[in-house]
Chain A
Amino acid sequence: MLEHIELFFKSIFIDNMVFATFLGMCSYLAVSKKVTTAVGLGAAVIFVLAVTVPMNWLLDQYLLRDGALAWLGPEYADYNLSFLSFILFIATIATMVQLVEIVVEKFSPSLYNSLGIFLPLIAVNCAILGGSLFMQSRDIQTLGLAFNYGLSSGIGWFLAILAIAAIREKIRYSNVPAPLRGLGITFIITGLMAIGFMSFGGMLTGGDEAAPQEEVVAIAPTQEVSGLTADAAQQDLTQNENETVQEDSPATDNQINE
């Protein structure tokens, strides 16, 4: 349960698709002139990501990755089809988008009208394919986590486009330098927002950076056993020492002067 909560907040704030990895920037810039259209596109992205990431996770687990075909029988265990992942992922996404469009049109015409023209556009949104590719490269473990990852990345993208659309509606009344109007200022605002989002980086203390340090402290007495890591750690230490010595020397000079 804890890892679900952690992944959820990590995907929304720390690894935000727009601000940390710049996925889906094209539609983010093109469709963010009004809040209402931005909400429509954002909702469609959440929906499609939450459907396609688990689908592609199943494909990756049972068809593509090294040894994934083992369930067919032992003679298939050596196959590694991962070079096919691009073409299969994008085909899944394109068909899913088409399918989702048909189903939504049939069962919920009002939702179809509000998503409307955005659904077909989404097939070529980098955020959707990026979600699946990051799911593959980050080794998401279970189907539930994959669904969670798709959903929360979508929510992160939704928040980003909502925020920039609101800002762009307001900035129309500001006196922006003429050459920066429109696209230029949007880039710079997004950059500033991304700097702001970087401050979420330390939000999860159980994250990637913090965990190894705690382990090192706990295992410290038995460190000699694992020669390789100990050597690496020593190299790091010596490098750090060099740097700290150089940084320290002016400081101590100052202290002496004082």
Chain B
Amino acid sequence: MGILSKKDAALILDPLADNNPITIQVLGICSALAITAELEASIVMAVSVLFVMGMGNVVISLMRNIIPSKIRIIVQLVVVATLVIVVDQVLKAFAYELSKTLSVFVGLIITNCIIMGRFEAFALANGPKRSFLDGIGNAAGYGFILVVIGFFRELLGSGTLLGIKVLGDPIEKTGLYAIGYENNGFMLLSPMALIVVGLIIWVQRSRNPALIEEN
């Protein structure tokens, strides 16, 4: 972190832990839950959001002095939508199967509240460099939670990671399955994503009691 001042480094590091967009700021939940049944989809989603947020924050920050405040929401939506179209087209060209799995959720990055929230709260008031760092930091905090959820759901749900069978073969009964381990198919169903996020929040807040809410 030699190039970055302490204040700039905090922009990246804070959202990873104590100011996490998903578990503390409650932003961007929708996509976090729907696509995390597999680790690969979670990683792709995290990278897409990282790209859109970093670029979008810079663009909005450069335009912050010429956007009339009355129509800023529409301007922001157009900027995000353009970036998301780029991501969507790239995914369709180079990872078609994956873009089928993600289906409408790539498009829903547009209305991902993290992006609009950071535009409003940060990019409209700060210069491009700091906005870029803020965007990257928040997207990384978002992606981190996504990858954790995806990891547990794929590992416990289908016994694989990135499609590789890490726990042995469930049909031929090798590895862990030889001693009677079974996959928990429940983890693949969408409600479990909510419960896993709830548990992550529980762990995080018991480690840092300052984050506990009033009621």
B49 to chain A, nearest CB (A): 13
How far apart sit A179 and B113, CA to CA, in the bound complex (Å)?
A: 24
Q: Give Cα distance in the complex from A25 to B121, angstroms.
A: 20
A185 proximity list for chain B (CB < 8 A): 198
Give B92-114 as 1s and 0s: 1 = Cβ < 8 Å from A's Cβ atoms: 00000000000110011011110
| CB-contact partner of A184 in B73, B77, B198, under 8 A | B198
Enumerate chain B residues within 8 angstroms of A125, measured Cβ to Cβ. 111
Indicate whether B195 reaches chain A with its CB closer than 8 angstroms. Answer: yes
Contact A91–B215 (Cβ < 8 Å): no
Knowing A30-B26, A91-B78, A120-B73 are in contact, say whether A181-B213 is a contact too (CB < 8 A). Answer: yes
Tell me the residues in window 157-200 of chain A with beta carbons closer than 8 Å to chain B beta carbons. 172, 177-188, 190-192, 194-195, 198
CB-based contact A83/B89 at 8 Å: yes
Number of residues of chain B lying within 8 A (CB) of chain A: 50
| A25 near B81: Cβ-Cβ < 8 Å | no
Task: Select A183's contact among B111, B189, B201, beta carbons within 8 Å.
Answer: B201
Nearest chain B CB to A132 CB, angstrom units: 9
Known contacts being A22-B33, A26-B30, is A87 close to B198, with CB within 8 Å?
Answer: no
CA distance A186 to B73 in the complex (A): 29
Instruction: Establish whether residues B192 and A191, one from each chain, have CB atoms under 8 Å apart when the complex forms.
Output: yes
Inter-chain residue pair count (beta carbon < 8 A): 146
A94 within 8 A of B: yes
Bitwise, A1-29 to B at CB < 8 A (1) or not (0) is 00000000000000000011111111001
Q: How far is the CA of A137 from the CA of B204 in the complex (A)?
A: 37
Note all chain B residues with C-beta closer than 8 A to A181.
212-215
Q: A133 near B107 (CB under 8 angstroms)?
A: yes
Interface set of B (CB-CB < 8 Å, partner A): 23, 26-31, 33-34, 73-74, 77-78, 81-82, 84-85, 88-89, 103-104, 107-108, 110-113, 116, 171, 189-195, 197-199, 201-206, 209, 212-215
Q: Which residues of A contact B (CB under 8 A)?
A: 19-26, 29-30, 83-87, 90-91, 94-95, 120, 123-126, 128-130, 133-134, 137, 172, 177-188, 190-192, 194-195, 198, 243, 246
Given A22-B30, A133-B107, A246-B171, 20 extra CB contacts under 8 A: A22-B33, A24-B30, A26-B30, A83-B89, A86-B88, A87-B82, A90-B77, A91-B81, A94-B74, A123-B77, A124-B113, A126-B30, A126-B31, A130-B111, A133-B104, A177-B202, A186-B198, A192-B191, A195-B189, A198-B191
